[in-house]
Amino acid sequence: MQTQRQQQQMSVVTLGVADLARSKRFYVGGFGWRPAFENEEIVFYQMNGFVLGTWLKDQLAADSRREAAPSSGFALAHNVATEQAVDETLDRLADHGGRLMRPADAPPHGGRRGYVADPDGHAWEIAWNPAFPISPEGYVTFGL
């Protein structure tokens, strides 16, 4: 089959969660985000050009036909506008059920970042990276 160029698009990131209320405390209370939809098994957040879903992990496992297991192998990032917002955001997320993985410091490529795990162990890097422009709508462009 010939390779075609397909839209460089990801529609949804779905994170498996054990307890929706505990997860919401982190995303709604910590990040201050508002759900676009929620019911007793899933919460969706409208993000910058895609959708974040937090879904009961047994249901995600059944849907994807892979056993539920602790989160591993990847990391998500949220960029903030100032250096000091990195530490403030990490603190706020830790106060809302997050677990600090790495306190903020300066990475080799510049800026400032730390890592926090959400209550289900999903890793979030909180970063200030002036090389990545962010539009008012939140669209992020790769930069060096």
- 77-116 residues near a copy of itself, rule: CB under 8 A: 77-80, 88-89, 91-92, 95, 101-102, 107, 115
In the complex, the smallest distance separating the C-beta of residue 52 from a copy of itself, rounded to whole angstroms, is 7
In the complex, the smallest distance separating the C-beta of residue 22 from a copy of itself, rounded to whole angstroms, is 15
Handedness of CA 59, 61, 67, 72 (dihedral sign): negative
Coil vs helix vs strand at 29:
helix
Spatial CA neighbour of 119 closest among 11, 12, 17, 45: 17
Under rule CB under 8 A, residue 19 binds a copy of itself:
no
Single residue of 22, 51, 87, 111 touching a copy of itself by CB under 8 A: 51
Q: Which residues, in sequence order, are bridge partners of residue 56?
A: 17
Coil vs helix vs strand at 38:
strand
# chain residues binding a copy of itself, by CB under 8 A: 77
**53-82 binders of a copy of itself (CB under 8 A):** 57, 60, 63-66, 68-80
Q: Rg (Cα) of the chain, in Å, rounded?
A: 16
Single residue of 20, 38, 46, 111 touching a copy of itself by CB under 8 A: 46
CA 80 to chain centre: 13
In the complex, the smallest distance separating the C-beta of residue 58 from a copy of itself, rounded to whole angstroms, is 12
